[in-house]
Amino acid sequence: MNLKRLLLFPGGSGLRVTLILMIAGCGLSKPQPGKAGASSSAPAVVAKGAEATPGKIGLAEAAGVVVAEFEGGSVPPDKKTEFWGPAIASFIGTDLGASKNLTIVNRARLSEVLREQRLSMSDLSDPATRLRVGSIVGAKYFIFGTYTIVGASAGLTARMDSVETGEIVQSRSVTGSSEDLRELSRQLSVAFLRPIDAVVAEREAHERLAQDAETARASQYFAQGLADERRGDYAGAVDMYTKAMTVSPHYPGAREHLEKVSEIAARQ
């Protein structure tokens, strides 16, 4: 199966597989040659107070953004790959959060609001529901995405929807190696940032940590730790975050998550 011929888009009724020939010309950007050959383990670090330059999407003030968990999986299905859904959303949220033009809505806050409103994540496919939830959490944009893993290949697609108009502001897709999902998520982040904050987008594109086997393994451990934490398996999360820090001592977010889940696990 050729992964480049498949794009998955989230919708109210689940995932719909669409031949790429049917959407040619819809504005999806092609991955840049050579970008997916190595895995980036973390977003670039942007100094606090750095000036941001708005791009094509003019923003009078910082805009709230919700990055929903990515839907999808592997072909054929494999439960071992399911942790990538929340992990990719977390990676992209961290990347976009480097811009002063954007404020990333905490997904825990989003989950809380959905419970209060008796809604599920799939309900956000309805524009009226997004407008209602967006007004509560202070979001101007929602980002939805999917991931597909077919053997050694992987692909990500994502779109940014305007809460106020319901229109698709941007849509992007990237493909590469299944070992490089962190790098692919970074490419999506850069694509979304360019029309919003050109300065940070360029920093994200060029300031990357060393691409080596150790940081690639740390990325896998960290992603599994996020999945364990989400399921309430705090002991498992402690183990995964510890492994991530053992491989890459300064892996972004690992220490903070390790301290949090260690405290929770100690109380159990």
Q: Is it the case that residue 186 has pLDDT exceeding 50?
A: yes
pTM of the model: 0.61
| Cα distance between residue 128 and residue 136, in whole Å | 13
Condensed to tens digits (0 to 9), the pLDDT of residues 125-166 reads 888 998 999 999 999 999 999 999 999 999 999 999 999 888
Lowest mean pLDDT, pick from 34-38, 55-59, 179-183, 194-198: 34-38
State the amino acid at position 28 in one-letter form.
L
- What pLDDT, on the 0 to 100 scale, is given for residue 125? 83
- Exposure on the CB side of residue 1, measured as CA atoms within 13 A: 15
Which pLDDT does position 39 carry in this prediction? 34
The share of the chain scoring above pLDDT 70, in percent, equals 74
Please enumerate in sequence order all residues whose Cβ is within 8 A of that of 104, keeping only pairs 6 or more positions apart, or say none: 64, 65, 66, 67, 93, 94, 96, 97
pLDDT classification of 56: cutoffs 50, 70, 90: very low
Q: How far apart are CA 5 and CA 197, in angstroms?
A: 31
Residue 236 reports pLDDT greater than 60: yes
Reduced to 3 states, what is the DSSP secondary structure of residue 170?
strand
158 neighbors 171 (Cβ within 8 angstroms): yes
Q: Which residues of 67-82 are buried (b: 16+ CB within 10 A; e: fewer)?
A: bbbbbbbbbeeeeebe
Is residue 197 a contact partner of residue 54, using CB atoms and an 8 Å limit? yes
Q: How far apart are CA 137 and CA 244, in angstroms?
A: 32
Residue 38, pLDDT score:
36
Own/partner pairs, 256-261, CB within 8 angstroms, 24+ separation:
257/222, 257/225, 257/226, 257/229, 258/225, 261/225, 261/229, 261/234, 261/237
